[in-house]
Homo-oligomer: A and B are copies of this chain.
Amino acid sequence: MARTVLDRADAVRALAGVFRKRGFDGASLSVVQQETGIGRGSLYHFFPDGKEDMARAVLEEVRAWFDEQVFAPLRTPEDPAAAVGATMRAVEEYFLSRHCVCLYAVMTLGQDRPAHAEAVRSYFADWVELLARTVEQAGVAGDEARARAVDAVAAVQGALVLARALDDDTVVTGVVDRSRRRLLDGLG
């Protein structure tokens, strides 16, 4: 009988998909097993501390992706304005290809899950901070730059909520595009 052996990274990716579709509570181990083909044995081999361990791993993977793809252009930008454009485009592409679900928001929004509170906080705080700094470098005054960054991150998250509620991905495209333009408004 054929048997599939896999990587922890494969398991994390598969888990992320189930969490995105079902939410943390909706992704019972039976559901995970059915939808990914990964059995309880493998799950507890890769994630000895169980479901919380799986959640942590999935959040860490998202965080790593953002560090590399979304935050990287903001860390030492040669052209700050171009970096702002690049980061917003990366974000848009990311969420459009992941059913408009932000796992950090999903883990936070409804539930009382203090275990991940600090990871969630730093994900959003770092995002706002890096974006604000780059907008400032592009020529916007400090307070105004920070307000624009907060507005942009909120716009992205709100667009995800709205896109899912209305079942219309173009909401994300529209909101993110306009948000990107506002970030750099008045900068010739």
Q: A interface vs B, CB < 8 Å? A: 21-26, 101, 104-112, 117, 120-121, 123-125, 128, 147, 150-151, 153-162, 164-167, 171, 174-175, 178-179
C-alpha gap A33/B24 in the complex (Å) = 23
C-alpha gap A32/B171 in the complex (Å) = 36
Partner of A162, one of B24, B107, B150, B178: B150
Q: Quick check: A151 and B125 within 8 Å, CB to CB?
A: no
Nearest Cβ in chain B — how far from A32, in angstroms?
14
Residues of B within 8 A of A109 (CB): 23, 101, 105-106, 109-110, 160-161, 164
Instruction: Tell me if A's interface is mostly helix, strand, loop or mixed.
Output: helix
Residues of B within 8 A of A175 (CB): 150-151, 154
Contact (A174, B158) CB under 8 Å given A25-B25, A165-B124:
no
C-alpha gap A106/B107 in the complex (Å) = 11
Q: Quick check: B157 and A112 within 8 Å, CB to CB?
A: no
